[in-house]
Amino acid sequence: MVTEWYQQGWWPLVGAVVVLALTNGFALWSIYLQAQRNLASQLKLKQIEFISQQLAEFYNPLYALLVTNLGVFLAVGPPSFPDDAIHRDAAGKVWSSVKEEVILPNNQSIQEILKTKTHLLTPEDAIVEYIPLQNHLAMYRVFQNQPSEVYGKFQFPKSILQHIELKREQLVGQLNSLKRA
């Protein structure tokens, strides 16, 4: 009986080792690819979680509180006061109550967010953008008890609401893109 070359000597062992090496190599490559996919998936989930946290704990509350304050200010604040003295005095009393019940508590919440949540700023954002707002909020409370013309140096930074809205929209766009991908 004549045996083929691949059936003689070391060739059966070499063949088995080669098949085993190829099979294991393919299995290891498959495991590596699966691990890469899992890592990418986990990173994407972490990114979604972080952006959600940025929105939920920093940008959304700041935006909501500032919009609320603006709406209240425009509706019952000094810009809405009537010209006649009697109605103006009544509007001033309402505004004083609204400041105590709405504006000042909202300002306190905004200050707390700015003190504790700035680690959630986007990489394109900077704390320096919020310093004029922080100064305004701190001085607003002080000048409620002791009015002074110095308060004019600490007016509300008009561009901050638009700034926060822009950063918020960018994050919402990133979040939606990540969820679709």
DSSP-derived secondary structure for 112-168? HHHHH-GGG--TT--GGGGHHHHHHHHHHHHHHHS--GGGGGG---TTHHHHHHHHH
Q: Are 67 and 172 in contact (CB under 8 A)?
A: no
> Quick one: pLDDT band at residue 150, thresholds 50, 70, 90?
confident
Q: Is the pLDDT of residue 1 over 70?
A: no
Q: Are 111 and 137 in contact (CB under 8 A)?
A: yes
Q: Is the pLDDT of residue 167 over 70?
A: yes
Segment holding 63, helix H or strand E:
helix 60-76
Q: Is the pLDDT of residue 9 over 80?
A: no
Indicate the pTM of the whole model: 0.81
Q: Is the pLDDT of residue 44 over 80?
A: yes
Single-letter amino acid, residue 160:
I
**Residue 117 confidence (pLDDT):** 97
**Residue 158 confidence (pLDDT):** 92
Task: Specify the 3-state DSSP secondary structure of 108.
Answer: helix
Contacts for 157 with CB less than 8 Å, ≥ 6 apart: 132, 133, 136
Q: What are phi and psi of 77, to 5 degrees?
A: -80, 180
**Mean of the per-residue pLDDT values of the chain:** 92
Residue 45 CA to residue 30 CA, distance in Å, equals 22
Q: Is the pLDDT of residue 140 over 80?
A: yes
**Residue 181 confidence (pLDDT):** 79
What integer is the mean pLDDT of 90-119?
Answer: 96
Residue 168 CA to residue 161 CA, distance in Å, equals 10
Q: Is the pLDDT of residue 6 over 70?
A: no
Q: What are phi and psi of 84, to 5 degrees?
A: -75, 145
> Quick one: pLDDT band at residue 11, thresholds 50, 70, 90?
confident
**Residue 138 confidence (pLDDT):** 94
CA atoms within 13 A on the CB side of 116: 8
